[in-house]
Amino acid sequence: MKTFIWRRYRWYDTKEGIKNSLGSLRDFNYLLSQRRAAGYCRKEQLNNFLVFGRYYLDSCGNSMKARRGNGNMVPKDLMSNLPDVLTMEEFHAYTRPDDYTSYGMGDDIPPTKLRCAHCGKRWDIHNCDDTVVKHATEVFSLVEFVGQTLGDVKKAYAKKRRALYQMQRDILIRHDRFIDLSLRYPNPEHEWEKDIVKNETGWVSERDGITDRYVIKEGDEGFFNVWKYYHSECNRKHMEEKQEREFREIFAKAGFTEIQMISLPNEYCPCEHCPPWFDVTTELGTFKIGWRKRVVCINWNNTVPATEGYQCLTYKLFEDEDVTKGEGYIHAWGYDKATDYLARLHDLLVRAS
């Protein structure tokens, strides 16, 4: 009798139990939550499984996804010859695809309630692997919650369907009334303590007595961790549309009036988190522009005449800039600098035309 109860209790750790959970996304998410609870809360030692050839369920309750060397998910068609659920011993009996390189923490399986942040459609068990997750921290005005509690704020954001919103205990509410410029160490013992004030930014947390019963005041802001889920194609469209708007804006600020843009593959990193580059045709010539890690790469080789004198002029434009640069290109640290560099090029091209 005890053995039967034990096996039933650990249904989430059997091939049959896992197969039965694959009928719907809701059931699959429930399975994963039960494995996490077993591994992390009850400290159970679990068996290892591969699900859909793409998700590795480990002995601690984690769920990880198979990735390529560039960080992208392993394409589904490479796993189409595998059964839905395998023990790792069974999996090793199959030929492993050449680019089936690693398991990355986090499975990116969307919660059942969630919708794509771009198209608004839900996922199901058949396409739940088609996700790209973007995490950011954002500060929102809480003006619509004035008179309500912080708990009400959390409940309202928990109901949203286009992203997951989570507040964190050590940074919750900001308001100017919380700013305190008095010294934290009025009798400093060390040099570094002399200039530290109690609260320069106005952020408060649970350590300051902020609980879910705190009543929102006029002017309060809230700090949120935000996770947005996209279908892979929606992610590409979203990145392209967002990046085009931002680059178009800096070209306009730099003085260009005729701006035509064609997207290009990212020439530095092809991963699903890096936006495309663009060929930008203007009334004064064509540029290539795109993010390269933390800098914007601007290339004007197709615009500036390939003459020694002209290239010398463009070099002098940027001789005071301590950045990566060369004949026909420069790296800008952010949009403000990119706008500045494009404005210099615009003025030069106008004078030369």
CA dihedral 231, 237, 240, 246 (to 10 degrees): -90
The predicted structure's pLDDT at residue 149: 98
The residue-averaged pLDDT of 104-119 equals 88
The predicted structure's pLDDT at residue 212: 98
The residue-averaged pLDDT of 87-110 equals 70
| pLDDT tens figures, 255-314 | 999 999 999 999 998 888 899 999 999 999 899 999 998 999 999 987 755 444 555 667
The torsion angles phi and psi of 321, rounded to 5 degrees, stand at -95, 120
- Asked if 130 contacts 236 with a C-beta cutoff of 8 angstroms, the reply is no
| pLDDT tens figures, 155-169 | 999 999 999 999 999
The predicted structure's pLDDT at residue 1: 37
| pLDDT tens figures, 312-337 | 667 788 988 999 998 889 999 999 99
Query: How far is 121 from 161, CA to CA, in rounded Å?
Result: 10
Does the pLDDT value for residue 213 go beyond 90?
Answer: yes
- For 102-107, the CB contacts below 8 A with 24+ separation are 102/66, 102/67, 102/69, 103/56, 103/64, 103/65, 103/66, 103/67, 104/64, 104/65, 104/67, 104/71, 105/62, 105/64, 106/63, 106/64, 106/65, 106/133, 107/32, 107/55, 107/63, 107/64, 107/65
pTM for the whole thing? 0.83
| pLDDT tens figures, 31-84 | 999 999 999 999 999 999 989 888 889 999 999 887 655 555 555 666 667 789
Query: How far is 182 from 277, CA to CA, in rounded Å?
Result: 48
Does the pLDDT value for residue 16 go beyond 50?
Answer: yes
CB-CB neighbours of 4 under 10 Å: 8
HSE (CB half, 13 Å, CA atoms) of 211?
2
Q: How confident is the model at residue 154 (pLDDT cuts 50, 70, 90)?
A: very high
The predicted structure's pLDDT at residue 141: 98
Instruction: Tokens for 161, please give them.
Output: 């369907």
CB-CB neighbours of 32 under 10 Å: 21
Does the pLDDT value for residue 240 go beyond 50?
Answer: yes
Q: At what angle do helices 232-253 and 335-352 cross, to 10 degrees?
A: 50
CB-CB neighbours of 252 under 10 Å: 13
Q: At what angle do helices 335-352 and 308-317 cross, to 10 degrees?
A: 140
- Asked if 185 contacts 230 with a C-beta cutoff of 8 angstroms, the reply is no
